[in-house]
Amino acid sequence: MERVTYWLRRIERNLDEWGKGAWIAAFVLGFILFWPIGLAILGYTLWSGRMGCWKNRRKYGRRNMGSTGNSAFDEYREETLRRLEEEQSEFEAFLQRLRKAKDKAELDEFLAQRRRQTEGGAQTA
């Protein structure tokens, strides 16, 4: 489930970077492949405000952020965003290592339990 969420967020981030045209292409393609998928994508784009249908428009993606006119602030903002993206990548890598360690511990426990059952079964026979 976490993998699916990761991939969906990654796709969402890419579509945001490419702009409205990518979102439109995604839901048209969704309708062509299987209409409920297209309907779900269309609903999500409208609900999240990505199509700019309401007064309160939000900009998505770094590409949409223009210059504020203050070069010092623009540099600070870019540096902060870069640092946050690095921290996010490091944290995602940490979570991946944590999941891998947990999976390994569970596998080791399963194998040890299985070994105990096999040894117990061999002794009683």
Sign for the pseudo-dihedral over CA of 71, 73, 77, 83: positive
Q: What integer pLDDT is reported at residue 124 of this predicted model? A: 60
Predicted pLDDT of residue 82: 94
All residue ranges of the chain with pLDDT < 50 are: 54-61
Q: What's the one-letter identity of residue 105?
A: A
- Which pLDDT belongs to residue 48? 74
Q: Given the structure tokens 């990548």, which residue do they identify? A: 89
> 85 is written with which tokens?
């993206």
pLDDT of residue 11: 76
Model pLDDT, residue 122:
65
Handedness of CA 12, 17, 21, 22 (dihedral sign): negative
Q: What is the CA radius of gyration of the chain?
A: 24
Q: So what's the pLDDT on residue 60?
A: 47
CA 97, CA 102: separation in Å to the nearest integer?
Answer: 9
pLDDT at 81: 94
